[in-house]
Structure formats: structure tokens, C-alpha cells
């Protein structure tokens, strides 16, 4: 449901997405062809509008083949099973989903980083938090968090699908061996273009448009190693430049 200013709320009618057979006697829910495709993939991108059990099976196959698993946390409000989290390379929640997963506040950068660290303790290697107009932050083991300012759209028409676009674009960039900072920029530009068009699938941009926007807005990601107050100033300042 599209709201004024481009914001949205979503009603999910599961339908075929939740009509998967139960796993019995070790028989896979996924066809042999699907399993083969997963093992040969550059990455597996998951989201939560299908049952966690199906995601878990796909993630286990991917992990066994050393294929990165990127999971968008959107689509369901329940907790993510620990077994599934241990198979996820990158978990991509927004602030609300992060708060729900960790039962921790996410009202400031410091709180977001603390909650992301808790997700890592659950077994996830990297946590990519989408913060809407405040940008995004990637939390990885053994490295400073990386903050990417948002590339603010002149007019926000429809935010539906922006998070999906962001996570998918980030995954594409990783497959192409871009650095995490470069992948964040690519994802930010993709999401910025997405919110300028009504609809979900029609609003997902083509590469040519993304690269053009990056030329026009060369706002790079930056590492964070500062206090919460300084970090928030960095976010506000960077977003002002991006706008």
C-alpha cells in the first residue's frame, strides 16, 4: 500500500510461496537441477517470503559448495532459526528488522552497531544494515564498519522494492569482485534510482543508469572508528553532501 511521500506498507498473501511440501525421509524440496544450480552459483540471495526450512536447505547446499549466502531479512517478522543464520554470509536487515531480530534498540548509530555485533554472535559473518535516507552500514569481523551515505533522490515516488534492489545490487557487485565499499556505492545508487519510479519490478534499474548516477554522485563509503555522536554527525554531513 503506497503512502504519501513514497513510503509503503506491505500485506503478504503467501499463496504458492508457502505451499512447499514437508521434508520427509530425507527427500529434498528442491529439484536436483535447482541443487546443481545452487552449487554453481556466484552467490545465493534469499529472503523470507518463503518458509525458513526451504531457505535453510538452499543455504546448506550453498555453504557446502563454498557459495556465499546473502539473506535479506525482510518478508517475515518471526525469528530467524539459528541453524539458518550459521549458513548466512551476509544478513541484510533494515533498522526495524535488526531491532526485531536482536530485541535491541536501533535508534542511533551506536545502537545499530551493537545490534549488528549481536547478530554476528549468532553466527553471521557480515551484517549489512539498510538505514533508508540515512544510508547503510556494513559490519564485518576484523574490520572497521563501513558507512555508505544515501544517494538521495530528487523526488521519492515509491520506496517499495528499494531494500530488495539494494541487497540484490550489493550481491551483484560482490560476484563481480568489487570491494565491499564499491559494492555499497553500487547498491546505494541502485536503490536511489528504484525509489524514483512507481512499482517494484519496473523500478529496478539497469546497470547503465546505475553507472551514470555514480558518475554524477561520487560519494564514497568510509570506515567508521568513532564515537556514536561523531558517527551521527558523519552520517548527517555525508547525506547533506549526497543531497
**pLDDT number for residue 231:** 52
User: What torsion, rounded to 10 degrees, do the Cα atoms 78, 82, 84, 85 define?
Assistant: 90
- For the cut 50, the answer to whether the pLDDT of residue 5 exceeds it is yes
Concatenate the DSSP letters of all residues of 194-239 into one string: HTTSSSSTTTSPPHHHHHHHHHH-----EE--S-HHHHHHHHHHHH
Lowest-confidence pick of 1-10, 20-29, 148-157: 20-29
**pLDDT number for residue 239:** 44
Query: Residues 162-208: pLDDT tens digits?
Result: 999 999 999 999 999 999 999 999 999 999 999 999 998 999 999 99
For the record, the C-alpha cell of 37 comes out as 544450480
- For the cut 90, the answer to whether the pLDDT of residue 24 exceeds it is no
Q: What are phi and psi of 81, to 5 degrees?
A: -55, 140
pLDDT tier at 225, thresholds 50, 70, 90: low
Cα 63 from Cα 70, distance rounded (Å): 11
Could you give the C-alpha distances from 78 to 3, 38, 149, 176, 192, in angstroms and in order? Answer: 25, 26, 29, 33, 29
Cα 69 from Cα 87, distance rounded (Å): 7
Helix/strand/coil for 43? coil
For cell 558517527, the residue is 231
> Minimal CA–CA distance to 232: which of 143, 131, 144?
131
HSE, side-chain direction, 13 A CA sphere, residue 8: 19
Catalytic residue ranges: 164
Lowest-confidence pick of 25-29, 50-54, 165-169: 25-29
For cell 534492489, the residue is 165
Lowest-confidence pick of 62-76, 169-183, 188-202, 209-223: 209-223
Amino acid at each position: 500500500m503506497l503512502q504519501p511521500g513514497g513510503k509503503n506498507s506491505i500485506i503478504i498473501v503467501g499463496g504458492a510461496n508457502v505451499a512447499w511440501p514437508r521434508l520427509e525421509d530425507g527427500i529434498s524440496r528442491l529439484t536436483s537441477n535447482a541443487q546443481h544450480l545452487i552449487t554453481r552459483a556466484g552467490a545465493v540471495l534469499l529472503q523470507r517470503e518463503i518458509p525458513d526450512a526451504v531457505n535453510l536447505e538452499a543455504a546448506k547446499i550453498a555453504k557446502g559448495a563454498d557459495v556465499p549466502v546473502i539473506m535479506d531479512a525482510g518478508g517475515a517478522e518471526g525469528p530467524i532459526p539459528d541453524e539458518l543464520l550459521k549458513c548466512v554470509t551476509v544478513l541484510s536487515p533494515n533498522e526495524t528488522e535488526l531491532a526485531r531480530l536482536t530485541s535491541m534498540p536501533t535508534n542511533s548509530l551506536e545502537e545499530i552497531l551493537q545490534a549488528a555485533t549481536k547478530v554476528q554472535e549468532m553466527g553471521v559473518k557480515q551484517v549489512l544494515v539498510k538505514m533508508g535516507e540515512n544510508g547503510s552500514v556494513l559490519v564485518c569481523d576484523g574490520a572497521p564498519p563501513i558507512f555508505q551515505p544515501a544517494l538521495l533522490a530528487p523526488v521519492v515516488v515509491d520506496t517499495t522494492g528499494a531494500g530488495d534492489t539494494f541487497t540484490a545490487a550489493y550481491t551483484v557487485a560482490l560476484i563481480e569482485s568489487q570491494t565491499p565499499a564499491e559494492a555499497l556505492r553500487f547498491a546505494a545508487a541502485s536503490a536511489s534510482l528504484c525509489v524514483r519510479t512507481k512499482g517494484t519490478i519496473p523500478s529496478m534499474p539497469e546497470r547503465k543508469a546505475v553507472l551514470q548516477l555514480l558518475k554524477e554522485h561520487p560519494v564514497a563509503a568510509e570506515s567508521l572508528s568513532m564515537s556514536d555522536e561523531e558517527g551521527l554527525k558523519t552520517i548527517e554531513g555525508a547525506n547533506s553532501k549526497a543531497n
